[in-house]
Amino acid sequence: MSVLDPLSHALAAVIATSHEGLTAIGADPTAGGTWVLSVAAVVVAVRVALLPVTVHGVRQAHAAARARPQLQALAERFRGRKDPESLRRLAEERRRIAAEHNLSLWGCLPVLAQLPIWVALYHLVGAVAAGTPVGAMNPGLVASLGAATVLGIPLAGRGYLGGGLTHLVVVAGLAGLAAGLSYVAQRYLVTPNTLLTDVPPAVSRVQQLMPAISAVGLLVVAGAVPVALLVYWVCNSTWTLAQAAVVWRWFPTPGSPAAGRR
């Protein structure tokens, strides 16, 4: 029994319910397209549920940007002062500024909230692809998913190799699409909307490299996960790209390059 089992069972219920709904309106219950849409439904359900957390993250980024000049001036005012009284006053002033701008310690909540979901989904898809029922994904649904294909490749299949040229092309295509969408979203929408002024050059350089690192990481990991999970990554990356575009266009972080273009 894993602490993530309740989350895996909830995700399994979303997949099973979506599959049942699609079948009820005439979709072929064994078709790969039906299962692809069921996986996409998980993306929609998860990302809609996380929208309040995402909005909180955007607001926190804006609050941090507005508070930045005051925090920098405060740090300069107390530079070199290490006595207990100065440290106490510095902490009090930081708290006051944070309260004034409604800054929260949970600014990284959007990323943290998604981590257990990603892990739970990986275990769910891995178990189902291996033929193990999970919650609402009963033996019949597991067998149906195991037999389903996308472009002729089993959704339960894994890795780049072992299934011939078609298998390699499809898996590499899905992995490349997910990695490409992730790179575009981070490189052209997220990074320009991030405030990097006055940060150490090494930190700025790492931030600039993150889109490429993330994309390469997806390509590497794609060689070991089920094709069904690659489908999820493509759908999730598409949502991320669209969401980042909305934030970049209408809610840019004050002081960021994205805000400067307006």
Tell me the residue ranges of DSSP E strands in the chain: 149-150, 153-154
Q: Is the pLDDT of residue 213 over 80?
A: yes
Tell me the backbone φ, ψ of residue 137, rounded to 5 degrees. -80, 80
Does 80 score more than 90 pLDDT? Answer: no
Q: Of 20, 21, 14, give the one whose Cα is nearest residue 45.
A: 14
* Model confidence at 111: pLDDT above 90: no
Which residue has 């006053």 as its token pair?
89
Q: Is pLDDT at 117 greater than 90 in this prediction?
A: no
Between 3 and 150, the more confident residue is 150
Q: What angle do CA 241, 247, 252 make, to 5 degrees?
A: 135
Mean pLDDT of 233-252: 95
Euclidean distance between CA atoms 12 and 126, whole angstroms: 12
pLDDT in tens, 43-58: 999 999 888 888 888 8
Q: Does the pTM exceed 0.85?
A: yes
Q: For residue range 165-191, what is the model confidence (pLDDT) as tens digits?
A: 999 999 999 999 999 999 999 999 999
More confident residue, 126 or 243: 243
Q: Is the separation of the CB atoms in 235 and 166 below 8 Å? A: no
Least confident of 142-146, 196-200, 225-229: 196-200
Choose the weakest-confidence range: 31-40, 116-125, 209-218. 116-125
Identify which has the larger pLDDT, 258 or 219. Answer: 219
> How far is Cα 152 from Cα 109, in angstroms, rounded to an integer?
39
Q: Are 159 and 126 in contact (CB under 8 A)?
A: no
Would strands 149-150 and 153-154 be described as parallel, antiparallel, or unpaired? antiparallel
φ and ψ at residue 245, rounded to 5 degrees: -65, -40
pLDDT for res 221: 93
Residue 53: count other Cβ atoms within 10 Å of its Cβ. 15
The pLDDT, as a whole number, for residue 130 is 84
Task: Supply the mean pLDDT for the chain.
Answer: 89
Q: Which residue has the higher pLDDT, 262 or 9?
A: 9
Give me the mean pLDDT over the 127-153 stretch.
Answer: 92
Residue % of the chain over a pLDDT of 70: 95
Average pLDDT over residues 206-226: 92
Contact 184, 173 (CB under 8 A): no
Whether the per-residue pLDDT at 23 is higher than 80: the answer is: yes
The answer to whether the beta carbons of residues 171 and 153 sit under 8 Å apart is yes
Q: What is the pLDDT of residue 149?
A: 94
Q: What is the mean pLDDT of residues 247-253?
A: 94
